[in-house]
Amino acid sequence: MAHVQSEPFPYSEEELQKQFTDARQRAAEADRKEPRAVRASYNKRTNCVVVELTSGVVVHIPPRLLQGLAEASPQDLAAVTVSPHGTALHWEAMDADFSVPGLLAGVFGTRAWMAEVGRKGGQVTSPAKAAAARANGQKGGRPPLRRKPYSQGSTARTKPRKGARLTRRSTP
């Protein structure tokens, strides 16, 4: 077996120590600023995944919203684990992972999954909603939007934007 000569290590001991110190400081800063999970569990009574954060905030998320967990059994949902740094939740049996910051931002799956969840939510109908739509249709449909003038506290812009060029029309 031939001896392979390796390149000399490019960092001195002092440079390595400085990099370790800087990395520890960045990690401590991330721990202070980013949301981290302390524990996670499944509450069978409320049918929610419960995530407790380092800040003391407790978040309840229905599994039907989480991609890949809608059809999971209570036993599988109860098998949730928190990553060592508290940045993610993992379900081994379903091979599902969710980042804690993503969950708090309302990201419950891939972009396609989120679009499908939103589409289904927009299709929700109830007897009251259907009756209101029929009554509105008999009146001629949705009424036109009426906005208050800008001076009466409306957020609608009726004044020109700052820096906009005003031109006067000549009267015929």
* CATH number of the domain that residue 111 is part of: 3.30.2020.40
pLDDT at 89 over 90: yes
C-alpha–C-alpha distance, residues 47 and 140, integer Å: 43
Q: Please give the angle made by the CA atoms of 106, 112 and 117, to the nearest 5 degrees.
A: 55
Which ranges of the chain does DSSP label H, i.e. alpha helix?
A: 13-33, 74-78, 100-104, 111-122, 127-138
- Tell me whether residue 69 is exposed, middle or buried, using C-beta atoms within 10 angstroms of its C-beta: 0 to 12, 13 to 18, 19 or more: buried
12 falls within a domain: no
| Secondary structure of residue 21 in the 3-state scheme | helix
What type of residue is 77?
L
Could you tell me the pLDDT band of residue 50, with boundaries at 50, 70 and 90?
very high
pLDDT at residue 131 in the model: 82
35 token code pair: 């949301």
Structurally, how many domains does the chain consist of?
1
pLDDT digits (tens, 9 = 90+) for 103-154: 988 888 878 777 777 777 666 677 777 788 788 888 877 767 776 665 555 5
25 falls within a domain: no
Full residue range of the structural domain in which residue 69 is found: 37-121
Q: Taking the model in full, what pTM does it have?
A: 0.56
